[in-house]
Amino acid sequence: MVRRPALTPLVADLPPTVPFVGPEAQERDRGGRPFRARIGANESSFGPAPSVIAAMRAAAPDMWMYCDPDNFDLKTAIAGHLGVACHNVVVGEGIDGLLNLVVRMMISPGQPVVTSLGAYPTFNFHVAGFGGRLVAVPYENDHENLDGLLAAVKRENAPLVYLSNPDNPMGTWWEASDIRRFADALPETTMLIIDEAYGELGPDSALFPIDVSRPNVIWMRTFSKAYGLAGIRCGYAVGEEGFIRDVEKVRNHYGVNRMALVAGEAALADQAYLAEVKAKVAAGRERISAIARDNGLSPIPSATNFVTIDCGGDGAFALAVLKQMIARDVFIRKPMVPVLERCIRVSVGLDHELDIFAEELPGALKAARG
């Protein structure tokens, strides 16, 4: 028997899982055969703005240097964009990195954390990694159940609750007035994480106005979706000065690389390109929805860069559809929890990718039904 240094009991007991199996891993499992359409990871196939690419190229020779550990230029740009002070902003390795920090700061082993059953699994991954106890509230009518989340927070005396708006994996959203009602009703001792990864892609009326005087709300956004920079892993959180100061105590000060800081600042400066992408995403959602309806399926209205499609059967049927699409070299994903599992999820892609989706879906449905 091999003897090795002992892990903590918490880590030793964790299952060897990851939140997502990436398309690259799936391609390796397929013997290296690439997907013809990569429309499952909610990336932006449109990529970053030409101005951002130019800024990244110009910065490439400087990559021998560490990043500015204060992230000063990007923080200043974000603060100016949002109309807050720099001390209300913290930059991190995408929203995932920031979620990790907040869970680490607020959750001790055994403490309850409230989320929705089927919501973003990476958040659950971080909660498990720090020993938190997940309390999951089922969706209602394909929306996160605000009243159910609030009831769970109060019942469990939970110090942390997670809500994405617009939502992943269903693409649905709540209006800002509904989010305000929810936030106002929370106990002062409960921190609300509002994950707005898709915020730029939905209606402005869904964005809960940032109020940095609220000590128990933190807003999170990213450059991964609308800005087309998923590969650089850069996001930011905005909140009350005291809480952001506490995040600064534990964050990895060299975690966001120099290229990411350059790209993020350039992306914020090019709001005209963002408007172009939003229009392309809206058109892509309409096309995916039309393809779904043409095949007798029911698309769920979406405020994100993907469309979740009700396949009209149970989870086993939707999984069969997904597998048939994968076999046809089309990478898509699906929710896996009860009720939501009846659906598949398709990201907006380039025209030729959606052409492939439209071409292959009828055969996949026929094979799944057979």
Token couple for 368: 């799944």
Of residues 198, 126, 135, the one with CA closest to residue 161: 135
Beta strands 343-347; 37-38: pairing state: unpaired
One domain for residues 196 and 310: no
My answer on whether 38 and 97 are in the same domain is no
User: Which candidate, 153, 142, 164, 131, places its Cα nearest to that of 11?
Assistant: 131
Same-domain check for residues 146 and 186: yes
**Are 159 and 105 in contact, with CB atoms under 8 Å apart?**
no
Question: Which pLDDT score, from 0 to 100, does residue 17 have?
Answer: 79
Above 80 in pLDDT, residue 14? yes
pLDDT band at residue 16 using 50, 70 and 90 as cut-offs: confident
Residue 2: its pLDDT value, please?
Answer: 83
The band of 259, judged by pLDDT with boundaries at 50, 70 and 90, is: very high
**Is 8 inside a domain boundary?**
no
Q: Domain for residue 6, yes or no?
A: no
Mean pLDDT of 162-181: 98
Same domain, 231 and 90: yes
Q: Are residues 312 and 232 in the same domain?
A: no
Taking only the tens place, the pLDDT of each residue in 119-130 is 999 999 999 999
Indicate the residue among 254, 269, 284 that finishes a domain: 269
**CATH number of the domain enclosing 146:** 3.40.640.10
Asked, for residue 322, whether it belongs to a domain, the answer is: yes
- Whether 60 maps to a domain, the answer reads yes
- Which pair of structure tokens corresponds to residue 302? 């979406």
Asked whether 98 and 237 are in contact (CB, 8 A), the reply is: yes
Q: Tell me the two tokens of residue 106.
A: 């607020």
Per-residue pLDDT band for 359 (boundaries 50, 70, 90) equals very high
Q: Name the residue range of residue 87's domain.
A: 50-269
- Do the domain assignments include residue 225? yes
- pLDDT grade for 21, boundaries at 50, 70 and 90: confident
Per-residue pLDDT, 212: 98
- CATH number of the domain to which 296 belongs: 3.90.1150.10
147 & 262 share domain: yes
| One domain, residues 92 and 193 | yes
* Neighbouring C-beta atoms of residue 265, cutoff 10 Å: 20
Mean pLDDT on 332-349: 97
Q: pLDDT (tens digit, 9 = 90+) per residue, 174-224? A: 999 999 999 999 999 999 999 999 999 999 999 999 999 999 999 999 999
Distance CA 173, CA 139 (A): 12
Q: Which of 269, 291, 316 is the last residue of a domain?
A: 269
Buried b or exposed e, range 246-258, using 16+ CB within 10 angstroms: bbeeebeeebbbb
Structure tokens at 38: 């990569």
Q: Is 16 exposed, middle or buried (0-12, 13-18, 19+ CB in 10 A)?
A: exposed
What are the Cα distances from residue 156, in Å, to 103, 112, 121, 182? 17, 7, 21, 16
- My answer on whether 289 and 305 are in the same domain is yes
Question: Is the per-residue pLDDT at 332 higher than 90?
Answer: yes
Distance of CA 333 to the CA centre of its chain: 14
Domain end among 236, 269, 302: 269
Q: How many domains does the chain have?
A: 2
- What pLDDT does residue 1 have? 78
**Mean pLDDT across the stretch 30-41?**
94
Question: Same domain, yes or no, for 61 and 144?
Answer: yes
**Is residue 334 situated within a structural domain?**
yes
pLDDT of 254 > 90? The answer is: yes
Residues 74 and 158 in one domain: yes
The mean pLDDT value of the chain amounts to: 97
Task: Reply yes or no on whether the pLDDT at 20 is more than 90.
Answer: no
Note whether residue 361 is domain-resident: yes
Q: CB–CB of 144/153 below 8 Å?
A: no
Let me know if residue 117 belongs to a domain.
yes
Query: Distance between CA 161 and CA 188 in Å, rounded?
Result: 12
Instruction: Reduce the DSSP state of residue 147 to 3 states and report it.
Output: helix
Task: Report strand pairing: 37-38 vs 330-331.
Answer: parallel
Q: Do residues 220 and 73 share a domain?
A: yes
The predicted pLDDT at position 79 comes to: 98
Smallest CA-to-CA distance from 123 within 147, 104, 143, 149 is with 104
Q: Which of helix, strand or coil describes residue 137?
A: strand
Contact 248, 90 (CB under 8 A): yes
Cα angle value 74/79/80 (rounded, 5°):
100
Q: Are residues 179 and 282 in the same domain?
A: no
pLDDT of residue 251: 96
Q: How far is the C-alpha of 263 from the C-alpha of 315, rounded, in Å?
A: 40
